[in-house]
Chains A and B, each alone.
Chain A
Amino acid sequence: MEKQILGFINYLRKAGLPISVSETVDCFQALTHVSVFDKQAFKLALSITLVKDSVHLPIFEELFNLYFFGSAAQKAQELGIKPKDLNENFTYERPKNVEEFLERLDAAIENQDLNELSQLAEVAIDIQVDADQFSLIPGNLPGSGGSGSTAGEVLKKVNTLRALRQEEKNTGKIRIIEGLDSWLQPAEEEQMLNFFRAAVGEALQKRELNNRGLDLIERRIPNVNLQETDIITANYTQLEEMERAIKPLAKKLASRIAQKRKQARKGKVDIRSTLRRSLNTGGVPLDLRFKYPRPTKPELYLLCDVSISMTGFSAFALQLVYSIQNMFSKVKSFAFIDNTVEITDFFTNTDFNEALYRINREAKVVTGDGRSDYGKALVSFYQKYAPKIGSNSHIIILGDARNNRRPSEAWVLRELKSQVRRIYWLNPEPGNQWDTGDSIIGDYAKYCHSVYECRNIQQLSQVIPKLA
């Protein structure tokens, strides 16, 4: 059992949780006080000692389920590491037939019971149709259910079943929903079904991997550890998941920045001014004067490489920068591949993805072969916009500085550096790849105040607050 718990802790560490030795000790201590037959208490003893950041709770949840109930649990059991009772006592009591499934689904929707909905999602993929008969086959048989179908198909099947059942129940009667319920009920049902649909998708994915005999945990860890996954080499699913992770992060940044500003506004006593004032009151400093920190916020100019390999990175960086836009008096954004175009207006009132999609379609960021040309892009930025940029400005450039062996035109940055307060460069490539191949980040770095490595979401969220 110790071995098994230590194995679990190892997976959590791999997934990016900073678990110390003292926390491991606490965990073992806590486990001496709970019964392993009580799933909830067992799980809680692990989570409250090992997980100290709410961001990590979903990771814990997923790994806990995979580790103690998934194929890894079976493997461990075969190896004799695991008391078999543990798994048996943790199993979910599945509905025995379609009728019971539907009843429990309705109840779960009505009671907004998300746990039950997730469990039922795993059952839903085992519903089979043979010649107009619906039946529920036992789960976890090799090759059972799931494979081949999509979440949409499963949901359609379930919806048909629900409609049929509703019709049977209401024969002859027409049910009218009135009053407040006509507002509440459809909205609630839609919400729950959306959740159910997502859960079905997850269940299908897990079943699929399981059927292929893959070790689910090993496969899921890179996904789970999104914060540290390289953005520019992430696959599509990972990007999608990162996208979901970015929103709460942006919110968190925004609220932290607001807090910081509040604290900064307090100011120190300005002795000189106070003494000058005190002359009116016979030298008694009745009226304290305060020194306030730099009152004028800088303007921000953001330049983003939006070529295919950079889109994910630019999208995330842009969202995070916009979350701290209150730190600036104004934010203007520009996109380029080989030509720089202002895109500020794309970001008013639309969602970020839609804006980026439109930018790629509508803004004239390419004039040549569609490959990045930092030199040309910088020159076009300089010619079109530099004259209007004031001295209290920050310029941030997002990109990998892979210039396809074209001229760097780094003089543009040299000129800009003498014109503005700060130039920062955020590079999504690992530091050891800088200035290799066609990367010419070094040429530009000479004229930047700082160049930051921003490979992943974690680094991005640490760097961005420093830019104001």
Chain B
Amino acid sequence: MQNSAVLPFGPNSDQSKIIDEIKEGMKENGYLCSDTIANVLYLAEKLQKPVLVEGPAGVGKTELAKALSGMKKAELIRLQCYEGLDEAKALYEWNYKKQLLHIQAMQGKDLDWEKIEENIFDEDFLLSRPLLKAITSDKPTVLLIDEIDKVDLEFEALLLEILSDFQISIPELGTIKAKNPPFVILTSNNTRELTEALKRRCLFLFLDYPDMDRELEIVKLKVPELPEHLAKQIVRVVRLIRSMDIKKSPSISETLDWARAIFYLGVDSLDRQTVETTLNVLLKYQGDMERVTQSLRSGLRV
């Protein structure tokens, strides 16, 4: 690091232009970026670092990666994590059936075993799973490692090499380095603590429920046929419900589902009756619905 009196950090005139372009491009792909999100995408690209996105369910973590791949015209390669996900499903597997067939075909021919072995541990016999696919792809890719908190700690260790060096070591083949480093997005619902080692390799974006303006914008983008004043009422109600002490707060997906339901009902304006009869779209638990209904009834002047 040089030690100079002048600003070492570029007043970067391009930066704000690029940020606007990112927002525009994501919007064309159905995703509304806050300034924060756009800036994170910009920096991730510049630093060539994976982004770890954390936040409650339904705030747009998965969708972010999808829209990004759309904007970049890159292939989306998705590794959906689940309990018990292992190397063979995530990285690669030797195609043993093909290997067996090959060995059988070679029988009778005058090849020594070493030669055969060399043959069958060739890339031709490798079944690529998402991670290897992303590394070996000739085209630009977005690699989405979705819900990383669902896999065990040991699995994280497997990812470290990919995340820091964009390469994979296969004992029989050596190290495969990415031709096109993928843009990597990892998501987590924070059901367990991720390791420091993993987090150190990523930029960290915490996605929470959006503020009122942005949620309204999202509703307008996704349900454009809905009149503005209805959209605003919908978002206000959702936000108020989120502030209540309930079991499962409505997320953006539920806001959108509700907005569509209200649109199909064709009402001019939201009233108590409409809210009450459609609450089941917004809330999943009977207790939560009762709680909101009660508040609605006690707070409303008739």
Once bound together, how far apart are the Cα atoms of A28 and B272, in whole Å? 54
Q: Which 5 A-B pairs have the closest CB atoms?
A: A52-B199, A183-B299, A48-B203, A35-B11, A182-B301
* Residue B192 is within 8 A (CB to CB) of chain A in the complex: yes
- A178→B272 contact, CB < 8 A: no
One of B42-50, B86-94, B167-175, B277-285 contacting the partner: B42-50
Once bound together, how far apart are the Cα atoms of A466 and B83, in whole Å? 22
Option from B3, B15, B190, B299 in Cβ contact (under 8 Å) with A187:
B299
- B237→A184 contact, CB < 8 A: yes
- Closest A residue, CB atoms, query B11: A35
- A111→B39 contact, CB < 8 A: no
Once bound together, how far apart are the Cα atoms of A113 and B205, in whole Å? 21
Find the residue from A41, A54, A186, A188 having the highest chain B CB count within 10 A: A41
Option from A40, A49, A111, A188 in Cβ contact (under 8 Å) with B36:
A40
Interchain residue pairs with CB less than 8 A apart (23): A1-B8, A18-B196, A32-B10, A33-B10, A33-B46, A34-B15, A35-B13, A36-B11, A40-B36, A44-B39, A49-B203, A52-B204, A83-B7, A112-B212, A113-B212, A179-B272, A180-B237, A180-B270, A182-B301, A184-B236, A187-B240, A188-B236, A255-B191
Once bound together, how far apart are the Cα atoms of A37 and B10, in whole Å? 10
- B271→A184 contact, CB < 8 A: no
Once bound together, how far apart are the Cα atoms of A111 and B215, in whole Å? 12
Contacts of B199 in A (CB 8 A): 52-53
- Shortest Cβ gap from A117 to chain B (Å): 12
Contacts of A378 in B (CB 8 A): none
Contacts of B49 in A (CB 8 A): 26
- The number of A-B residue pairs with CB atoms under 8 Å apart is 133
Number of interface residues of B (CB under 8 A): 55
Once bound together, how far apart are the Cα atoms of A83 and B6, in whole Å? 8
User: Which B residues have a C-beta under 8 Å from some C-beta of A?
Assistant: 1, 3, 7-13, 15-16, 19, 35-36, 39-40, 42-43, 46-47, 49, 51-52, 54, 83, 190-192, 196, 199-200, 202-206, 211-213, 233, 236-237, 239-240, 243, 269-272, 275, 295-296, 299-301
- B205→A48 contact, CB < 8 A: yes
Option from A28, A40, A179, A255 in Cβ contact (under 8 Å) with B271:
A179
Contacts of B39 in A (CB 8 A): 34, 40-41, 44-45
Secondary structure call for the A interface: helix
* Residue A22 is within 8 A (CB to CB) of chain B in the complex: yes
- B212→A52 contact, CB < 8 A: no
Contacts of B192 in A (CB 8 A): 256, 259
List which A396-445 residues lie within 8 A (CB) of chain B: none
List which A79-99 residues lie within 8 A (CB) of chain B: 83
Contacts of A33 in B (CB 8 A): 10, 12, 15, 42-43, 46-47
- B213→A111 contact, CB < 8 A: yes
* Residue A20 is within 8 A (CB to CB) of chain B in the complex: yes
- A31→B269 contact, CB < 8 A: no
* Residue A51 is within 8 A (CB to CB) of chain B in the complex: yes
